Structure 1
């Protein structure tokens, strides 16, 4: 699915999840179909994919005591723009796993500059520097950053804001605190972490 969707966007069709990096791949599915996927890459000696063009931007975070950087990549959905509930569920699962299992403190993602506003408005990502050319997809790329410690505050703020019936960010659709703790226990169990591929089964939205 990743290669099919990337090829449709003109980004090539030979992408793989790197086996030499510490990764966990998450898929959102209904009863019979995979709806979307995203991969979390944890910083290691192999580095992150974003190091290829943004190493100078990542290094200050990497060298800060107490920081552990991670990266979202290989984000793809089977058709068009997925629903907000599906996006919220998938992203929250990734955040929970990254924080509780790997103690990630800073999350990065490379996006096409035309998608920058979406990640700013929906998840609170902040652009780092200016766009550069990603030669692997032959397209401009913007590095964006999210501090993991801000997520709980954003969820609580979204829950308190009932003035708009249409959620202004995905955080209004995230799991409750109790459900998030239960998911954290499930995702970090020995059984779950033996397999780097984690499936999230969702109803069709």
Structure 2
């Protein structure tokens, strides 16, 4: 069971911490090291917050740069304040263990427009409201499916329930296409191209948020199904937990 937010104003929820040294690094994006095993086994809960100050955004940037540089990606990330973006931060104690950001479509467009504007414009012409999930990183020493699932689900709740967007798009390395298809039911929207921001190949993928919401409602909060349902959805929040998170996000959005 998740816990109510603590007395920190930007905390969304506390989540039971599950650590399994046999789980491979999420998205196969992270190194197989054990440097923070002591931290992982000692923490009973991690918190997810909105990164709404410079210090939190800096912590998220440091984690992103750490994980991306390990894979040889060529750019350095700095998450500046942006009215069309929110960043979520997962932390265990004083350590940042995960982050994800959402870019919301606006007159200035999305990052994916640099490579895939034709594909995104076709969806916009159909009346779809597009957002993109970017800067996803989970500490390579933290092998818990719940961390990624919780970050991703809260980002989905914010995009769909609070901001009323209809679709997620995301650029992934070609070697991760099968992962997103299998674990999160994304589909490929665009062919492989070179992403010069990170000097690596990219593939455009996406998912309808209503369809994702249906999967989350069906499987969420039922980790016992993980043995047969080989996706992240059993590690999503239950419908009742989702409602509580959505209510909390409404309050935080009003305060922003």
TM-score under structure 1 normalisation?
0.86
2-side partners of 1:186 and 1:74: how far apart? Answer: 23
Match of 2:60 in 1: none
- Alpha-carbon contact 1:37-1:76 (below 8 Å) kept: yes
**Runs of 5+ consecutive residues of structure 1 not aligned to the other structure:** 196-205
Match of 2:69 in 1: 7
Residues 1:21 and 1:131: Cα distance change in structure 2 (over 3 Å): farther
Q: Does 1:29 align with 2:29?
A: no
CA RMSD in angstroms, aligned pairs only: 2.2
Match of 1:122 in 2: 183
Give the C-alpha shift of residue 82 in structure 1: 3.9
Match of 1:199 in 2: none
2-side partners of 1:161 and 1:173: how far apart? Answer: 6
1-side partners of 2:64 and 2:226: how far apart? Answer: 34
Match of 1:144 in 2: 205
- Alpha-carbon contact 1:131-1:141 (below 8 Å) kept: yes
Which deviates further from its counterpart, 157-166 or 179-188? 157-166
Q: Does 1:51 align with 2:113?
A: yes
Asked which structure has the greater RCO (Cα within 8 Å, sep 6+), the reply is: 1
Residues 1:170 and 1:63: Cα distance change in structure 2 (over 3 Å): same
Partner residue of 1:188 out of 245, 250, 255: 250
Aligned residues: 193
Q: What is the 5 A alignment of 1:1-205? A: 1-17=63-79, 19=81, 22-65=84-127, 67-79=128-140, 82-158=143-219, 165=227, 167-189=229-251, 191-195=252-256
2-side partners of 1:39 and 1:72: how far apart? Answer: 6
- Alpha-carbon contact 2:130-2:167 (below 8 Å) kept: yes
- Alpha-carbon contact 1:72-1:108 (below 8 Å) kept: yes
Give the C-alpha shift of residue 83 in structure 1: 1.7
Which deviates further from its counterpart, 71-80 or 154-163? 154-163
**Runs of 5+ consecutive residues of structure 2 not aligned to the other structure:** 1-62
- Alpha-carbon contact 2:110-2:132 (below 8 Å) kept: yes
TM-score under structure 2 normalisation?
0.69
The DSSP-based 3-state class of the residue aligned with 2:72 is coil
